[in-house]
Structure 1
Amino acid sequence: MRLHEFILTHIGQILSAWERFARSVETALPPMYSKGLRDHSEHILRTVAEDMQRPQSERQQIAKSLGHGPDTEGDSPAQTHAMTRFVAGFSMDQMMSEYRALRSSVLRLWLAQQRVDDEHDVQDIIRFNEAIDQALVVSIARYGEAVESTRKTVLGVLGHDVRSPLGAVLMASDMLRKNANMTDRDRRLAEQINASISRANHMVGDLLDLARSNLGAGIPVNPEDTDPSIVCASVIEELRTAFPQAKIVSNVSERVPGRYDPSRIEQVFTNLISNAVRHGDSLQPIHVTLSQDDDCSVFSVLNRGEPIPAGVIPHLSIPRPVTQAMQQPKKDRRPAWGWGCSLRRRS
């Protein structure tokens, strides 16, 4: 029996194997019923069997091997299957494993009843694998589109909704700052709250910029005449208020003028100094230095703590899960480590 005939004749048996595998996949959502677990799988199998019966030129075979199958009107069963699995909470890896299980089940069941003796049997296996691969490529593409669309929507909604409570806190801090009955200490705290909320508003603006640029157009930078020493001193004072136990020693020059984007430079200062506060030895001082060297403003943060393994350092700027090396038990905290950067002035 030819492979496409076997698929159509034994489709119930194949779907049962598909369902058993799909039922073994664990997701955060409630278990699905049999109909949901088999969603569009029968259509996928019938589409594969129909494709195997069509004549195919060498050029079409090459195109299909590159993932360029024939166009279909509307969504194909593989595209619809990807969307339903996405909604059901399946990860992309889990969805891909379904196709691997389907491929294995069909070939295992067929070969249990059929000896591969004729040349057309080999061609059937090749055509079957091509059709499954094509369906898998289509499903992955649609799943990826769903993930990207959801991520953009979440970024946009998050950025929009967070602005309302931030605006309320900013307004309240402004009112506190103007209260003549406040003590000097309370006024300083209100000013720090105001500065922190203003910076959080800038971050939300960046989040919205990121959503509007579809996560691919880069981060906007607006340079202007700026003295980073003023920005750095403000960040240090803010972090001293937020982390009163931290010993931040400032070695900031009086003036380091240049053309920078103040909000971006503030982000750099805040990220590096706060990282030193959070991940360094809390009993040792943190030295923050900002000075001028020819046409560069040189900024550095030095603190004591667990050294970062040398193999991890080249990958620190790449977003990814914590590496095994960084999960090693803490050793001697005496070694010092730090970060630095050169901020080249723009004329």
Structure 2
Amino acid sequence: MTNHRLSEFIHSDMERILQTWEDFARTIEPPALTMDDVELRDHARQMLQAIADDLATTQSDAERTAKSQGLGKRERADTAAETHAEARLLSGYTVVQLVSEYRALRSSVLTLWIADERKEYATDVADITRFNEAIDQALAESVARYESMVKRSQNMFLAILGHDLRNPLGTVVTGSQLIMAAVDIPPKYILVATRMYNSAKRMSKLVSDLIDFTRTHLGPGIPIHVRQGDLVQVCEDVANELRTSQPEMQIDFLAPNSIEAIFDGARIGQMLSNLAGNAIQYGNADMPITIKLQRSDDDVVITVNNHGDPIDANELARIFAPLVRIAAESGTGECTSLGIGLFISREIVHAHAGHIEVSSSAQEGTTFTVTMPRLPAGFSSPATGRNRAGERAAW
């Protein structure tokens, strides 16, 4: 007897194993029926050869544990299992079908080996363990690559959709503005144009959020363009806009006369608008929304507080996760947004090298706290030099 009997069996009975596995693959509907025999066996042979070669080598306990967890050592950039996942995704396979192929591959090898009548291939528990670990490693690689490709294709679709929606929405906004400014048409048309304008602006915000969401998944994150300015003025403008759009709500704004900082004014306004809008939506209409700004030598702190039902501790842990609201409200029929506003707010804060926290209780209400540096990394103090844009700031 040799030490690696299963390895030798796989090499010598490759065609029989592949045929058994192929017979199973043919039962998968509908994509498998659209492929010829060569496509059905595309990477199974490579995976089996890699597994057999692996069985013929010694491994440490640490290597065995890593492999069983799908963390085995990689021999090349793209393994056969990863390439197999890409081919199956492009062929229309679901992840369930992909996993079922590995179950069939495992079953084909072990069933044929145990049933083999040749005495030189006796059953060995160590071989079975090594084989299962190798299959687990290949399965983990395939599922990870499949999931990564699905997410990327979804995000790419959303990015293209959001980009293509901008132009027609811009036309609606511009056209409705022209009608609203007209003085020679009946008031009822002005009213319709106003409603069109407001709806188009809301849609534009949703599209902008969608594009920002895809940017965080397809690139380095939300882009910002910082410059020196008065943070109080930017935040107060947001508060006044909310007072105009939500006249029934009391919105308190507490801040010093000015806070000079280096930041992206449009992005900070977007972040604060998202946080305050969330507070208005979920807060008690009879209690005020409080926006407060404070500063220290190095940092600025922005808080948004509302009173209402406290957020459950389990929900707090995932409140910044994207699309959480859609998942939570999918059975209520009351989903009114994409559920990515808080996620985008967090990404904007992170882009400014800051952090955001949330606390919630029945006594204190729900408070979002944003802390970020007044002078981002890479910028020198106005007293000692110029910033990266070459502009000298007055503090």
Question: Is structure 2 residue 383 aligned with structure 1 residue 345?
Answer: no
SS of the residue corresponding to residue 276 of structure 1 reads: helix
TM-score where L is the length of structure 1: 0.66
Letter in 2 for 1:288: T
Aligned-pair CA distance for 1:79 = 1.6
| Structure 1 residues 38 and 257: alpha-carbon distance in aligned structure 2, compared to 1, 3 A threshold | farther
Q: How does 1:1-347 map to 2 (within 5 A)?
A: 3-4=9-10, 5-6=12-13, 8-9=15-16, 11-20=18-27, 22-23=28-29, 31-32=30-31, 34-36=33-35, 40-51=39-50, 56-58=56-58, 66-69=72-75, 76=80, 79-88=83-92, 90-91=94-95, 95-112=98-115, 121=124, 125=128, 128-129=131-132, 132-133=135-136, 135-136=138-139, 139-140=142-143, 142-144=145-147, 146-147=149-150, 149-151=152-154, 153-172=156-175, 174-175=177-178, 179=182, 203=209, 206=212, 210=216, 214-215=218-219, 217-239=220-242, 247-253=249-255, 255-259=257-261, 260-281=263-284, 283-295=285-297, 297-319=300-322, 321=324, 337-342=365-370, 344-346=373-375
Are the structure 2 counterparts of residues 306 and 229 from structure 1 closer, same or farther at C-alpha, using a change threshold of 3 Å?
Answer: same
Residues 111-159 of structure 1 show CA distances to partners (whole Å, capped at 9, x for unaligned) of 3556998678557546644664564355346425533542453244134
User: Aligned pair in 2 of structure 1 residues 304, 40: CA closer, same or farther (>3 Å)?
Assistant: same
Query: Normalising by the residue count of structure 2, what TM-score does the alignment of the two structures yield?
Result: 0.60
Letter in structure 2 aligned against 1:16: D
Q: In structure 2, what is the equivalent of residue 330 of structure 1?
A: none
User: Aligned partners of 1:116 and 1:321: how far apart in 2?
Assistant: 58
CA shift, 1:77, in A, is 7.8
Change (3 A) 1:151 1:179: same
Shift of 1:161: 0.8
SS at match of 2:289: strand
**Aligned equivalents of 2:313 and 2:265: distance in 1?**
32
Does the Cα contact within 8 Å between 2:301 and 2:370 map onto a contact in 1? yes
Deviations 1:245-271 (A, max 9, x none): x52323344733322321121122111
Classify the secondary structure of the residue corresponding to 1:84. helix
1:192–1:35 Cα change, 3 Å: closer
Any idea what SS the aligned residue of 2:279 has? helix
User: Alignment identity in percent?
Assistant: 26
Contact kept, 8 Å, 1:277 with 1:286, in 2: the verdict is no
Structure 1 distance, partners of 2:363, 2:85, is 54
**Residues 252 and 198 of structure 1: CA distance in aligned 2, closer, same or farther (over 3 Å):** farther
- Contact in 1 for aligned 2:162/2:208 (Cα 8 Å): no
Count of aligned pairs: 325
Give the Cα–Cα distance (whole angstroms) in 1 for the partners of residues 93 and 124 of structure 2. 38
Corresponding residue for residue 28 of structure 1: none
User: In 2, Cα distance between the equivalents of 1:117 and 1:268?
Assistant: 70
Cα distance in 2 for residues equivalent to 1:238 and 1:338: 22
Contact kept in structure 2, 1:52 and 1:124, CA below 8 Å: no
| Residue pair 1:39, 1:81 contacting (<8 A) in 2 also | no
**1:222-267 C-alpha deviation (Å, 9 max, x unpaired):** 33343444433443454456556x5232334473332232112112
**Does the CA-based 8 Å contact 2:158-2:210 persist in structure 1?**
no
Q: CA deviation at 1:274?
A: 1.3
Corresponding residue number in structure 1 for 2:386: none
Q: 1:151 to 1:198 in 2, by over 3 A?
A: closer
